[in-house]
Structure 1
């Protein structure tokens, strides 16, 4: 489960992505185009240290882009190239925001979500000591076997960024689809798919291929 805070971020996540996305080779848009949210979904970090959120964003009229993000309380060693930016969280303080594909915690969470069939985390707020569930704007489905043993992911060996970003780990090869679309060819592997407002038919979002 993912605990959310009723908080403000300065700059906002969309502000950060408006500046960061035009520098990506897989971005279909122009610099200066305001990025808007199409929805998102989350995974849980069992250690409770790293926030993990995947955002679906794009220009007002352009294609949807998938951007996994991780939120950390301190810089991640060796991941400067994956830094999206920093933001001030009104509850948690400064957060370092990374492209999740550069973060080993995201790789482990994605592999577990797909291969164990657990899918996305339930999102909730705590209000006066009680839990209020927030409905996700993205519906995620997975092909993995429910309650299957968690895979051994191991260390991230390399990340090859592109329209299909490949995260190569000791135990699993992961693929993140940066521009999800109905007409996209399905790749080999166990698949995580999703649908959202304006995209009622589920489309592939990510794949996992155990070694």
Structure 2
């Protein structure tokens, strides 16, 4: 399991996201730099121990905290080949040195672990504690086959708040139909979404201090 270091990052993750979010088609900003607060999330382990994976939920205070965003990130010790379109930025980690931080939709290891979580082959980890599973992260899967992201990854961002990643059977067998993993970038509390073959559901803190819960990833 990944170790969480109690150290500094310069710039911080939220500072990097404040510059990156307004450039995304699903961002609902007002033209001002977003004022972000972390309001939830979880981590996933890379079995090889090379890539840090953190699925962050942030609230944008420039609109009264009314908009919540789901932003999964992948942290690497070197640039990822073919993932330049997903680079959020670089940061100096107080223990690990320079970290290249990517939108996880563009990182094959992160996509593989999100699919493994949905399929019950990976366990969500606490966002702030090392070696600590997070049982509050719900998952469901009706798909029997093991799925992986395509190579190269095929990613599409849409203004309706979804990032869609094409997936395929891990054994290379022909798929009976196109399959996709959708990241719901603006999760809606308790909302029912399209029928799905699998999903990830998490909780987060609302601007009024209460809690909300909804889907952040859907397999279809």
Same fold (TM over 0.5): yes
CA contact (8 A) 1:73 1:94 kept: yes
State how far apart, in whole Å, the 1-side matches of 2:163 and 2:25 are.
11
Name the SS of the counterpart of 1:18 in structure 2. Answer: helix
Pairing 1:19-38 to 2, within 5 Å after superposition:
19-30=19-30, 31-38=32-39
Are the structure 2 counterparts of residues 168 and 10 from structure 1 closer, same or farther at C-alpha, using a change threshold of 3 Å? same
1:58 Cα shift?
A: 2.3
TM-score of the pair, normalised by structure 1: 0.84
State how far apart, in whole Å, the 2-side matches of 1:109 and 1:59 are.
27
Are the structure 2 counterparts of residues 169 and 87 from structure 1 closer, same or farther at C-alpha, using a change threshold of 3 Å? same
Alignment: residue pair count: 199
| Contiguous gaps of at least 5 residues in structure 1 | 126-130
Pairing 1:139-154 to 2, within 5 Å after superposition:
139-144=136-141, 151-153=146-148
The residue number in structure 2 matching 1:95 is 99
**Which of the residues 183, 197, 208 maps onto 2:205?**
197
Are the structure 2 counterparts of residues 201 and 13 from structure 1 closer, same or farther at C-alpha, using a change threshold of 3 Å? closer
CA contact (8 A) 1:72 1:95 kept: yes
Give yes or no for the alignment of 1:207 onto 2:214: no
**Which of the residues 59, 65, 70 maps onto 1:66?**
70
Give yes or no for the alignment of 1:4 onto 2:9: no
| Contiguous gaps of at least 5 residues in structure 2 | 170-178
Name the SS of the counterpart of 1:2 in structure 2. Answer: coil
Q: Which has the higher strand share?
A: 1
Q: Deviations over 1:66-103 (max 9, x none)?
A: 00100000001111111000000000000000000011
The residue number in structure 2 matching 1:128 is none
State how far apart, in whole Å, the 2-side matches of 1:149 and 1:120 are.
20
The residue number in structure 1 matching 2:176 is none
